[in-house]
């Protein structure tokens, strides 16, 4: 773990940040330490046809939202009634989770909520037209474009999601950026998860109400054109290091690395509804990640989203139904020259395999699909030398809810990382299917094969699986390859 590249130690100076056709910057440049960034209206000169998010302050409900500031709110019933009163479309939601979260607070927590946190949410939401003074482009499919926001602007957007002011987008390729479903139990079983998520969100606003952060966050959509997709089988890249870590987690121990988000193709997945696995956890401990859900269209197979600079506000314990908010996290990551924390998350969605389709994952079609996805997620500009490329912190991508095979997927990720000249740190999360991982990797290293050769081995394995009559006795990928190496 100590030998792999991490930021900031491995990073190269960024140079001056300038607006350009692939960037929209919502604050004035240059960013300076210890100053809250000021809003900017300068448009980027975009060659592409842009479409924009419709902002709540241009709609009918805004006058009602403004009224919230003058309301006396001291009980949970008043709280939910007043938010719901801003928009008739909110009537059908009970907001019972929001009510419960506040009811379960002790007296002093409630006092802080009513005196500080909720008034901050209102004022931060209402500041939106003063803070974001140019339209927000939709990060549409096939677009290489980045949006640069200050952390204060992110908070204002999230405060609007809390007050449920954004309309449901007319396009199905976008999420609805609102907390309505998080505030309400829609299906049985999710109550505890939603309560814990909401505690994280409320704690984020409490922290912001006391201290306005001065940093910035970038949301970058990247698209790899089909003609730029490498020919996997002929890759001469030698395999990079894969370090197995059995006890750590991506966000805790992958500090300074490119941290993989095991994403849904609609970024954020079910974070604003009932889900509570890797992606949702990552997003609620660092709520600025949720901002991506406002403007990011569904990812295509050859797309990934990089989010740079988010701050972690919450600690947590448990996972899924046992997840609980475990208090404040004080994020001590340094900021880069553009004001962003040295925390890079990449959202990449694996393929979901239904129970009766699990076996299809070894086909060339899905192998190529996953490889393309990992490649677009891991690639760097050609000018960036290998020594400046951080390692990738990943793990059982696509192997939980999505039912992938971690042995097969780990090798796919290793090929992609190697072709992008980056080491990989693999957090196994104690998955039993990877019990022989370290010895397998040691054997693989001694074979000195190229990425292309490993790819061809995976193709061969897929062919082997497809010829089996009974899938029960299938030889696992690691065993299959180990036997093959030995027999050579």
d(CA 451, CA 8): 28
| Residue 473 CB, nearest approach to ligand AR6 (Å) | 25
Residue 478, CB half-sphere, CA atoms under 13 Å: how many? 16
Distances (CA, A) of 240 to 58, 423, 424, 451: 51, 5, 7, 9
Q: How many whole angstroms separate alpha carbon 199 and alpha carbon 326?
A: 10
Distance in angstroms (rounded) separating the CA atoms of residues 21 and 35: 27
The residue among 314, 401, 419, 386 whose CA lies nearest residue 350 is: 401
Residue from 93, 162, 262, 342 binding ligand AR6 (CB under 6 A) = 262
Q: Report the residue count for the chain.
A: 488
- Least distance to ligand AR6 from the beta carbon of 293, Å? 11
Q: Which residue is catalytic, options 7, 261, 297, 349?
A: 261
CB-nearer residue toward ligand AR6: 138 or 250: 250
Residue of 181, 280, 303, 311 with catalytic role: 280
Which residue, 23 or 433, has its beta carbon nearer to ligand AR6?
Answer: 433
Q: Which SS3 state, helix, strand or coil, does residue 49 take?
A: coil
Q: Are 94 and 83 in contact (CB under 8 A)?
A: no
Residues 6+ apart with CB under 8 A from 88: none
Considering only 118, 397, 440, 478, the residue that binds ligand AR6 (CB under 6 A) is: 397
261 an active-site residue?
A: yes
Which of 255, 277, 300, 449 forms a contact with ligand AR6 (CB under 6 A)? 277
How far apart CA 208 and CA 198 sit, in angstroms, is 15
Report if residue 250 touches ligand AR6, rule: CB under 6 A.
yes
DSSP secondary structure string for all residues of 278-330: HHHHHHHHSGGGGGHHHHB----TTEEEEEE-----EEEES-GGG-EEEEE--
Least distance in angstroms from the C-beta of 261 to ligand AR6: 8
Options 279, 288, 297, 303, the catalytic residue: 279
349 is annotated as an active-site residue:
no
Taking CB under 6 A as the binding criterion, the range among 40-48, 49-57, 106-114, 274-282 that sits at the site for ligand AR6 is 274-282
Q: CB of 457: closest distance to ligand AR6 in angstroms?
A: 24
Among residues 263 and 374, whose Cβ is nearest to ligand AR6? 263
Answer left, alpha or beta for residue 25, where phi above 0 means left and psi between -120 and 50 means alpha.
beta
Q: Catalytic annotation on 22?
A: no
Q: Establish if 257 lies at the interface with ligand AR6 (CB under 6 A).
A: no
431 binds ligand AR6 (CB under 6 A): yes
Residues 321-350 that bind ligand AR6 (CB under 6 A): 350
CB of 372 closer than 8 Å to CB of 229: yes
Choose which of 197, 270, 306, 409 interacts with ligand AR6 (CB under 6 A): 270
Binding part of the chain for ligand AR6, among 223-231, 367-375, 397-405, 439-447 by CB under 6 A, reads: 397-405
Residues that bind ligand AR6 (CB under 6 A): 249-251, 262-264, 269-270, 275, 277-280, 350, 395-402, 427, 429, 431
Instruction: Return the active site residues.
Output: 261, 279-280
């Amino acid at each position: 773990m100590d030998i792999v590249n991490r930021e900031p130690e491995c990073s190269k100076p960024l140079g001056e940040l300038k607006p350009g056709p692939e960037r929209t910057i919502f604050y004035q440049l240059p960013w300076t330490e210890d100053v809250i960034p000021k809003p900017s209206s300068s448009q980027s000169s975009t060659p592409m046809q842009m479409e924009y998010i419709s902002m709540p302050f241009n709609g009918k409900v805004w006058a009602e939202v403004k009224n919230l500031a003058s309301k006396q709110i001291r009980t949970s019933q008043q709280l939910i009634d007043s938010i719901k009163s801003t928009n008739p479309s909110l009537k059908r939601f009970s907001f019972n989770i929001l009510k419960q979260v506040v009811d379960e607070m002790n007296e002093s927590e409630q006092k802080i909520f009513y005196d500080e946190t909720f008034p901050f949410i209102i004022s931060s939401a209402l500041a939106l037209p003063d803070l974001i003074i140019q339209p927000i482009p939709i990060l549409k499919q096939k677009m290489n474009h980045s949006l640069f926001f200050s952390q204060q602007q992110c908070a204002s957007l999230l405060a609007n999601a809390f007050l449920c002011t954004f309309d449901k987008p007319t396009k199905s390729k976008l999420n609805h950026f609102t907390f309505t479903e998080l505030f309400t139990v829609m299906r049985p079983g999710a109550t505890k998860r939603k309560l814990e998520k909401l505690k994280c969100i409320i704690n984020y606003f409490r922290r912001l109400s006391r201290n306005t952060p001065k940093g910035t966050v970038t949301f970058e959509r990247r698209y790899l054109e089909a003609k730029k997709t490498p020919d996997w089988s002929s890759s001469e890249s030698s395999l990079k290091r894969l370090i197995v870590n059995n006890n750590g987690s991506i966000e805790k121990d992958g500090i300074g690395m490119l941290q993989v988000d095991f994403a849904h193709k609609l970024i954020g997945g079910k974070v604003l509804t009932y889900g509570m696995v890797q992606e949702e956890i990552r997003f609620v401990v660092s709520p600025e990640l949720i901002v991506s859900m406002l403007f990011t269209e569904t990812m295509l197979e050859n797309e990934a989203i990089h989010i740079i600079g988010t701050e972690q506000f919450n600690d947590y314990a448990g996972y899924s139904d046992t997840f609980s908010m475990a208090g404040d996290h004080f994020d001590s990551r340094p900021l880069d020259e553009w004001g962003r924390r040295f925390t890079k998350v990449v959202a990449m969605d694996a393929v979901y395999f239904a129970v009766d389709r699990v076996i299809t994952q070894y086909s060339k079609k899905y192998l190529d699909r996953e490889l393309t996805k990992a490649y677009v997620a891991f690639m760097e500009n050609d000018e960036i030398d290998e020594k400046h490329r951080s390692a990738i912190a990943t793990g059982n991508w696509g192997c939980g809810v999505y039912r992938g095979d971690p042995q097969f997927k780990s090798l796919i990720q290793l090929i992609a990382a190697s072709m992008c000249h980056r080491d990989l740190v693999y957090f196994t999360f104690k998955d039993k299917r990877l019990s022989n991982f370290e010895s397998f990797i040691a054997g693989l290293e001694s074979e000195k094969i190229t990425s292309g050769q490993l790819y061809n081995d995976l193709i061969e394995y897929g062919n082997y699986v497809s010829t089996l009559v009974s899938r029960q006795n299938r030889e696992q990928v690691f065993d299959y390859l180990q036997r093959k190496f030995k027999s050579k």
